Amino acid sequence: MKHYQFGVDYYPEHWPKERWAADASMMREMGIQIVRMAEFSWEKFEPAEGEFHFEDLDAAIDILAQEGIDVILGTPSAAPPAWIVERDPDIQPTDWTMRRRHFGGRHHDCQSHPAYRTHIRRYVTAFAAHYAVNPHVVGWQIDNELGNSHGDLCFCEHCEKRFRAWLREKYGTVAELNRAWGTAFWSQGYGSFEQVHAPRVTVTGINPSQELDWKRFTSDLVCEFHQMQADILRAAAPEKFITHNLMGFCSKPSYYDLGKQLDFASHDQYPGGHFHARHDEYRADWHAAELDFIRAVKQQSFWIMEQQSGITGWEILGRAPKPNQIPLWAMQCVAHGADTIVFFRWRSCAMGTEQYWHGILPHNGVPGRYHREISAFMKKYAPLLKELHGSVPKADVAILRSYDQERAFDIQPHHPNHRYMQHVATYYKALHRANVPVDFVGEHHDFTPYRVLIAPLQFLMTSEHAAKLRAYVEQGGHLVLTWRSGVKDGTNLCYTEGAVPCLVDDMCGLALAEYDCLRDTDGLVRWDGVEYPCTQWCDVVDTTTAESLATYAHEFYAGTPAITCNQHGKGKVYYVGTTMGDALADRFISCLCEGAAIGGLLDTPHGVEVTHRMAGGRKYLFVLNHKEVPQQVKIPETWHTWDGAVWEGTLAPLGMQVFVEL
């Protein structure tokens, strides 16, 4: 596959044809080599059933090709046209209250609906056949951000029918389903699969086992919806790649599963998103975590398919990116393993919902600051991206990101403010502050390359998973488990035998005695005489063989262990019984890293991020200042600036420097 460094998302159908040649030539001058198009343009290309008009798209591809620019085409199944909706109105999805969502936005589709699938098959088959032979079309994106806007969709009869088939396949008999879902409670027993519904709005809380299976089913549905299109595209054009623009920690479909269908993962990165309430909040660590997670999807380098290139906004706008902030955001993606950066979008659109989601060019098409900054960035760093292609960082620490645990906590957060990913991020952020590289892993990945595995909130503990964790520790791994581990089986029923954390209590060297949900109060943990705040939850444990590292300093359980460590086999198991504040997390991570002989890449002031990628036997180091003030950084003598610049010891506000270790 040809390598690309920079691209842009382009919507020629929003502009007069006379402008296309000027756009293409400006793109080439900037250094753009690839353009993504067509993912929302079904109505233009098939204005009536079976009447295909790809002439305009052909013309746009030709114009780009004349400038040496290649193309990725999107299938448009996120925006079915009005004529399809008129013919088959019930392809419009229904939410959990059985309220229909209508035409006029996007994602107004039910992914199960047989008629909608027929429309998609017809379109994608014609589209694939038409472009299979075009050498300038090098790859496909199927739909757009699958899972986005479908969070609570769809609950129609077609989705329920598929859900029942999925349950039948999983459980075989309705008796087994009744057992697995614990339907003895509130008289919920089913006499047949036909009686089972999607978890529609109820009068009171819904059966958590039913909800968990529904979430698993909808993830599989999204993947199967993608697979249906991927099969058509691969059969027509086996040499073209398939990717998808993922959304970081979005949890509707499992990206581990979706990733199996992709040649490489892509991600949409909008660090200054208008949807954030506080724009002054430090979020570079969260963005870093999302990028590290996207690398985990296929355990390889990835693309950014949409990189913020101006102010974001729909009805409400975000802040203007500060001078040099867009290049800094783009470099952060490279620093975590992106090979190619595709900027969203070429030109701010004059029409529709996204009029204020600004592009490289403003509405009038005259280049301004964003264009200047992005051009300079591309020109300077294209050679660096070439050198780095395909490389990834090396990490000794892995964090387990589990879709199943997240689903289970979405259903039962316990504490009203508890969110699975935010809890996982407590650990990530502390490692990030210490500049310790991190990989994310799923349950299916190999844990053995990592000296440390942090596995927060292992609420659902199956015997297979427990055995895998056990083997990891016995062979010398350092494992971190936390509160609400080993509480339930894989169907979301509580264990009724043994000590929590069930199946791993001996490894942890402790048993849960009781617990306290902190609700509207915070707690305190004492470690070596220093008191640190903790929140949300406190496990009260009886240790058997575990050593207490820190104790609670509040409530009736003051003096009992809050954080423990137990030697098991050749390894260790740490148990953290509470949600740590930043200071406590820093203390814990430093103890954990010391125990596993892991050091950070560099000591830096807060807001200066350091990452690395290993390429061609060399280590490339990225030092990024996310703060709007100059920051001093002491760089080891073995590090040399990649661009040959003299290093003066200070990073400018929102400045960056790349080093190579010799």
Query: Are the C-beta atoms of residues 474 and 571 closer than 8 Å to each other?
Result: yes
Residue tagged active-site, from 306, 406, 443, 609? 306
CA 134-139-145 angle, to 5 degrees, is 135
CA distance 500 to 486: 6
Q: How far is the CB of 40 from ligand GAL (least distance, A)?
A: 7
Shortest spacing between CB 25 and ligand GAL, in angstroms: 25
| Residue whose structure tokens are 């508890």 | 418
Count of residues near ligand GAL by CB under 6 A = 8
The question of whether 661 is a catalytic residue gets the answer: no
| Angle at the Cα of 176 from the Cα atoms of 174 and 178, rounded to 5 degrees | 70
Do 376 and 479 form a contact (C-beta atoms < 8 A)? no
Shortest distance in whole angstroms from residue 341 CB to ligand GAL: 15
Question: 354 or 661: whose CB is closer to ligand GAL?
Answer: 354
523: which DSSP letter?
E
CA distance 246 to 148: 9
Least CB distance to ligand GAL at residue 359 (A) = 10
Q: Return the closest-CA partner of residue 340 out of 404, 386, 289.
A: 386
DSSP lists the bridge partners of residue 400 as 441
Q: Where are the alpha helices (DSSP H) in 133-196?
A: 157-171, 174-181
Binding track, positions 124-163, relative to ligand GAL; x by CB under 6 A: --------------------xx------------------
Query: How does strand 438-441 pair with strand 34-37?
Result: unpaired
Which tokens go with 27?
Answer: 């793109």
φ/ψ of 484, rounded to 5, equals 55, 40
Residues ≥6 apart with Cβ < 8 Å to 517: 414, 415, 536, 537
Provide the minimum distance between the beta carbon of 384 and ligand GAL in the complex, in angstroms, as a whole number. Answer: 27
Cβ at position 423, least distance to ligand GAL in Å:
25
The pattern of x and - marking residues 603 through 632 that bind ligand GAL according to CB under 6 A reads ------------------------------
Q: Which two tokens stand for residue 495?
A: 């264990």
State which residue, 356 or 532, has the beta carbon closest to ligand GAL.
356
Q: Which is nearer to ligand GAL, 207 or 245 (CB)?
A: 245
How far apart, in whole angstroms, are the C-alpha atoms of residue 97 and residue 608? 47
The answer to whether the CB of 483 falls within 8 A of the CB of 515 is yes
Sign, Cα dihedral of 197, 493, 216, 421: positive
**What is the pairing mode between strands 478-482 and 452-454?**
parallel
Member of 224, 354, 387, 506 binding ligand GAL (CB under 6 A): 354
Is position 213 an interface residue for ligand GAL (rule: CB under 6 A)? no
- Position 306 contacts ligand GAL (CB under 6 A): yes
* Interface characters, 219-258, with ligand GAL (x: CB under 6 A): --------------------------x-------------
Site residues for ligand GAL, window 494-513 (CB under 6 A)?
none
Taking CB under 6 A as the rule, does residue 307 contact ligand GAL?
Answer: no
Q: How far is the CB of 245 from ligand GAL (least distance, A)?
A: 6
Active site residue: 145, 211, 373, 406, which one? 145
Which residues make Cβ contacts (< 8 Å) with residue 471, sequence separation at least 6? none
Footprint on residues 327-346 left by ligand GAL (CB under 6 A): 344
Q: How far is the CB of 101 from ligand GAL (least distance, A)?
A: 17
357 binds ligand GAL (CB under 6 A): yes
Question: Is residue 327 within 8 Å of 333, Cβ to Cβ?
Answer: no
Contact track, ligand GAL, 260-279, x by CB under 6 A: --------x-----------
Q: Please answer whether residues 547 and 565 qualify as being in contact, where contact means their C-beta atoms are separated by less than 8 angstroms.
A: yes
Euclidean distance between CA atoms 406 and 41, whole angstroms: 34
User: What is the closest distance, in whole angstroms, from the C-beta atom of residue 27 to ligand GAL in the complex?
Assistant: 19
Instruction: Select 9 or 505, whichever has its Cβ closest to ligand GAL.
Output: 9
Least CB distance to ligand GAL at residue 403 (A):
20
Q: Which of these, 638, 605, 584, 643, lies nearest to 282 by C-alpha position?
A: 605
Q: Given the complex with ligand GAL, which of 109 and 306 has the nearer CB atom? A: 306
Q: CB-wise, 9 or 339, nearer to ligand GAL?
A: 9
Smallest distance from ligand GAL to CB 265, Å: 15
Task: Reply yes or no on whether 306 is catalytic.
Answer: yes
Which of residues 265 and 589 has its CB atom nearest to ligand GAL in the complex? 265
| Strand-by-strand arrangement of the 266-269 sheet | 241-243, 137-141, 70-74, 34-37, 6-9, 338-344, 302-308, 266-269, 245-246
Rg of the chain taking only CA atoms, in angstroms: 26
Under rule CB under 6 A, which residues in 512-551 are in contact with ligand GAL?
none
Q: Measured from the CB atom, is 142 or 237 closer to ligand GAL?
A: 142
Q: CB-wise, 7 or 208, nearer to ligand GAL?
A: 7
Q: Which residues is 245 bridged to in the sheet?
A: 266
Q: Which is nearer to ligand GAL, 354 or 531 (CB)?
A: 354
Report the C-alpha gap between 331 and 338 in whole angstroms.
9
Measured CA to CA in angstroms, residue 637 lies from 1, 625, 631, 640 at distances of 38, 20, 18, 7
- Give the nearer residue to ligand GAL in terms of CB position, either 11 or 420: 11
Binding region for ligand GAL (CB under 6 A): 144-145, 245, 268, 306, 344, 354, 357
Active site residues: 145, 306
